[in-house]
Homo-oligomer: A and B are copies of this chain.
Amino acid sequence: MPDVDPEEFRRLGHAVVDWIADYRAGVADRPVLPDVQPGWVREQLTPTLLSAGLPEEPQPLAGLLDEIDRVVVPATTHWQHPGFFGYFPANASLHSLLGDMLSTGLGVQGMLWATSPAATEVEQVLLDAMAAALGLDASFTFAGGGGGSIQDSASSAALVALLAALHRSNPDWRERGVDGTERVYATAETHSALAKAVRVVGLGKQALRIVEPSPGSLAMSPDALAAALRADSEAGLRPVLVCATVGTTGTGAIDPVREIAHAAAEHGAWVHVDAAWAGVAALCPELRHLLDGVELVDSFCTNAHKWLLTAFDASLFWVRDATALPAALSITPEFLRNAASESGFVVDYRDWQVPLGRRFRALKLWAVVHGHGLSGLRAHIRSHLALAEKLAGQVREDPTFELAAEPSLALVCLRVVTGDGPESDDRATRTVLERVNASGSAFLTHTTVGGRYVIRVAIGSLLTESSHVDALWESLHDEAAKVLANDPDDRRDPGHSGSTHV
């Protein structure tokens, strides 16, 4: 037998499980960010993998674990660290790991119902059940004529939504492609994945309309949207898709979905709601308002692999018309023809995505909801909301800082106030971020709001507790105090700090 013997696999698998348990148990003691320069990993691996070439003979597992300890762990940003506040959380809970192991252990391909009926139907059932748990309208479930799927990412969800919209807006699209009159609507705060999707589908940047926000807000103005749609329609252009975001990446802004849906409906445009980060919070009844108006749109996406404890990749994507994606995407060569598909009684998930192959991703989501229960998932979300609320209160009460936007769920955006004007504030804010990151105890990323530099604190790592947010606040406060004490080193342009990490 050329593979490792199943009995030997028990020994090796237990060793890897133990390695992971040790890594997770100790992750909080490491600096969140690695201290390596570009090329360090390559240099470390050159003697073993490049100069000597890949090994000719099988090597014992211990050697691989040693290499991972020696080269990988010191050069890894520790996303599961309790001090990880960057980007959005990407929780890979140990429960989800168990489910993912089962998926790879089974080793099935879920491209067609026929290639693994269980992979398809478990995903359908879980997405229907998750829709109910989130309070999504029943029309998004298979039972209600729509349906859900697990995409690899919100980027891919936006892409397939746009492809379905292009097909719906023009029956000739599959034959003749795009014609240059298509238009897509978003805001400056919409995730860049939408602009990338617009590029990928051949529309070019010219097709992307950036709709203005409502005054004093970062959320899309329904009036501005309506005006843009009307102007384009009158000019002979075709509004194809409007992307509304529930919880933007920059500041967590929430577009007015209901008003957007009404404006889009007049022009037959597909409405896609990107709630990649925030959507899962609707598991909590008191946050169900996040889905206001979603019952009117065409597609909805939220990522289990951000705040919902499921290891990447697991982006949950629902449509209200189960035929929309297959109509846009299906191409059936002879070697994929089968009686089940032709019966019309099954879902072939290959037609819901661009790639043909697909993993049995539903198992990791199942393992998460099974292992945590809805009550555990809600407690996880609520604990981060409480931590964010406390942090925002501290920011409000400290004259050294100000909130750069109203806190949104567990995302707090703040900046340093120097009293010397915006440029000085921006420099100070950036210096504080770099110093906190250099401390190793926390990792922050930034954005800009109205052209101003802003620190984002995205709370949501699985291990993050009150003590970690308290320590972060202390660190932010202390670093800001040093900057405000006017040490010349702290005021110089931090762009020259040489850090490659932030």
Identity of the chain B residue whose Cβ is nearest the Cβ of A357 in the assembled complex: B153
A177-B180, A354-B159, A370-B64 given as contacts; is B195 within 8 A of A331 (CB)?
Answer: yes
Q: Which residues of B contact A63 (CB under 8 A)?
A: 370
The 6 closest A-B pairs by CB, nearest first: A202-B202, A92-B107, A177-B204, A13-B17, A20-B105, A41-B121
A125-B50, A357-B152 given as contacts; is B331 within 8 A of A199 (CB)?
Answer: yes
Q: Which residues of B contact A41 (CB under 8 A)?
A: 117-118, 120-122, 125
The docked-state distance in angstroms from the alpha carbon of A359 to that of B314 is 11
**A117 to chain B: closest CB distance in Å?**
5
Interface of A is mostly: helix
The docked-state distance in angstroms from the alpha carbon of A453 to that of B124 is 33
User: A484 an interface residue at 8 Å Cβ cutoff?
Assistant: no
Identity of the chain B residue whose Cβ is nearest the Cβ of A328 in the assembled complex: B199
User: A2 an interface residue at 8 Å Cβ cutoff?
Assistant: yes
Instruction: Render A351-367 as a binary contact track against B, CB cut-off 8 A, 1 for contact.
Output: 00011111100010011
Q: Is B79 within 8 A of A108, CB to CB?
A: yes
**A157 to chain B: closest CB distance in Å?**
10
Interface range on chain A (Cβ under 8 Å from partner): 35 or more
Partner of A334, one of B72, B173, B447: B447
User: A456 an interface residue at 8 Å Cβ cutoff?
Assistant: yes
Of the listed residues A155, A180, A202, the one surrounded by the most CB atoms of chain B closer than 10 A to its CB is: A202
Q: Which residues of B contact A64 (CB under 8 A)?
A: 99, 366-367, 370-371
User: A417 an interface residue at 8 Å Cβ cutoff?
Assistant: no
User: A386 an interface residue at 8 Å Cβ cutoff?
Assistant: no
Interface residues of A in 195-213 (CB under 8 A from B): 195-197, 199-207
Instruction: Render A488-502 as a binary contact track against B, CB cut-off 8 A, 1 for contact.
Output: 000000010111111
User: A235 an interface residue at 8 Å Cβ cutoff?
Assistant: no
Give 14 A-B contacts (CB < 8 Å), ordered by A residue.
A4-B94, A4-B371, A19-B102, A20-B102, A23-B106, A75-B116, A76-B116, A97-B105, A172-B204, A191-B333, A196-B331, A197-B354, A312-B359, A335-B447
